Copies of this chain bind each other. A is one copy, B any other.
């Protein structure tokens, strides 16, 4: 059986991580952005690991080595930040090809260090090996206040679904590059994780949080699955930047589809009780309300001009 027949990446993860963990120090194992472990006092230890592959997560043709390094770091710290955590230590493994130059690696590390510095992360370990294809793995350790820790599983009925910034910029940039068109490609080549300080503020008010790795549709589905809920997404409220709108128009495509099914924007999706929205806004305002959590029986759907429609699938490895 191939992985596509099994039902794709997420079914595979369910299959291999289905074992019960009975260790009191493990607060949360697989199934969220990070694993969560007991740490010191009221802090928990967050651990995430992300693998990025040449030709899949980054193109050696389109990305500068520095941009590759930044993307490796931004995409990985984003998982810690999505738990309302503070990323602290990074461990970078690299599989390099025989023809990889020292200059290439220097430039990748320049990007890694630049992004690490921005997020106040120290690179303190790793592994170097070689193979046919360039692959990076970043393991990141971070910490979070137990009281702020924002799992995917905490969404409550009638919570509002919010997203930071704007969405779809990564997919818009990728689509331009794939079409050989010029334009706003930085959303794809230089995606940025939100600042930990922002996520910590959100963590004070939200019940669930996740970062946008695979598209808004997929992230809302993850929250609903872990929280045992349904949801409606307000299609016209999905925030799109002027650049992304311009790119979509240029390509004859739909910017909101980029947002829903594109992924890799590394913005945050979170759910907040309605009476907390005002309080949050006083401290942090760069977010939009894009939907509402419903009872599980209601399912998950898009709402556009009072018309319901089903979600398509977001980006999945093995299903593309």
Contacts and interface: CB of A to CB of B under 8 A. Distances in A.
Contacts of A102: 1-3, 5-6, 12, 15
B21 A94 contact: no
A218 B26 CA distance: 37
Contacts of A15: 102, 106
Contacts of A26: 89, 122, 124
B318 A124 contact: no
Contacts of A94: 51
A54 B131 contact: yes
B129 A51 contact: yes
A182 interface: no
Given A35-B89, A35-B124, A132 B133 contact: yes
Contacts of A106: 15-16
Nearest to A23: B122
Nearest to A41: B40
A67 B22 CA distance: 26
Contacts of A127: 49-51, 137
A55 B12 CA distance: 24
Contacts of A56: 129-131
7 smallest beta-carbon distances between A and B, as pairs:
A139-B139, A53-B131, A137-B137, A29-B124, A51-B93, A35-B125, A49-B91
12 contacts: A2-B99, A9-B128, A15-B102, A21-B124, A26-B124, A35-B125, A37-B141, A49-B137, A57-B129, A132-B133, A133-B135, A137-B139
